[in-house]
Structure 1
Amino acid sequence: MIKNIIFDFGDIFINLDKIKFANELQKLGISQNDNTFTPILNEYEMGLISTEDFINYFKEKLQVSSHEIKKAWNCILLDFPIERLKFIKKLAKQNKHRLFLLSNTNDLHISWIQNNWGMDLYNEFKTCFEKFYLSHEIHLRKPNNNIYQFVLTENNLQANETLFIDDTEENTSAAAMLGIHTWNLIPKKEDVVDLFTKNHI
């Protein structure tokens, strides 16, 4: 029986444009097929370096402006469909499951979301969850198994009573290895609001 649900953020609640993101980074000289920048990207996602240091690193390496970096970096973020907010608010109100958010999210992205949505909407969304875990705040990232173990241990969750929903197969596969039930949601083909109607629980 599923008692706990752990949700990803991007392409589960807020829509993402990963193709545009890859293209805009490519224009700056950051290829997702090139592992040169992977260490710095992972460090930033885990909050191990500051936004200022992150931007300065690419300004020096690529000879681009702060504005160009921020614009390219945030172009991945799109809209937050209202039906998804209604869904998670209803689920929280029912109080039948413990709800958690677990996202690989960095400081620039969460700052953009807070500014774009406004803090009232952001907090309205955030309070639907018992815990709201962002990788740059807990210094862990998916798909490393220690991030899943951290959430299970800190909240006394049993893996076989927990469902994890994420749009990235690498992340759900890692969680499944710990015995967590998973739904690798396919964006544009599936929607989190269909969690119960499509028999994922």
Structure 2
Amino acid sequence: MQIIKTFEEAFQFVMDRKVCTIFGSKGSPHPSLWDNTALSEKKPKAGGWSPKVMAVWDWKTRIPQTYPELVYYGKIKGGDAVMMEMQYFRETHYPASFKPVSDLDELAQQVYEFIRLEPAFTGLLRKRAIEQFGCTKSQFDTAIKKLQISLNIVRSNDPSLKNDFWLSMREVHLDLVNRYEINSSNEPAKDGRADR
């Protein structure tokens, strides 16, 4: 049953479902914004995108920008783009899905260092990676996807930015990163006890 027609309904859908994909994919356990949007898929006679495509594309960006404390946007295992209710992201998804950048391949680590040292737009990062590491566009795109899925980078929610601008997860969610690193460490905490 398609139920979503407005921005407010799309936001409430994310909050109610906790996790939703944007355009959906076969075999995903999560509902999709696309499948639950009740707008026309017909392209206008003058050309361009259908009302449904325009709305879903807008919502996937505008919801996390409007409600950055309530909604997380990123990619999950398998590569689907999702929006998540923030409490679910912080308490369930992040602890279960975080993977240290040191566990990723060399190119992903190198791209992460670019972002950690100087957050940037996708185009600039891609150009630098291709020039410095001799990777292909596809290899770079895969590295960005791996960094998102492993929760090491996140897209900026700054509404003044029209293209994807990448930040380290630490820069956006420092308290969460610090808490998880401390709780997952084998090193003794300040009180002298190990957390594992």
Q: Of the two structures, which has the highest relative contact order with CA contacts closer than 8 Å and spacing of 6 or more? A: 1
Higher alpha-carbon Rg: 2
TM-score, length basis structure 2: 0.31
TM-score, length basis structure 1: 0.30
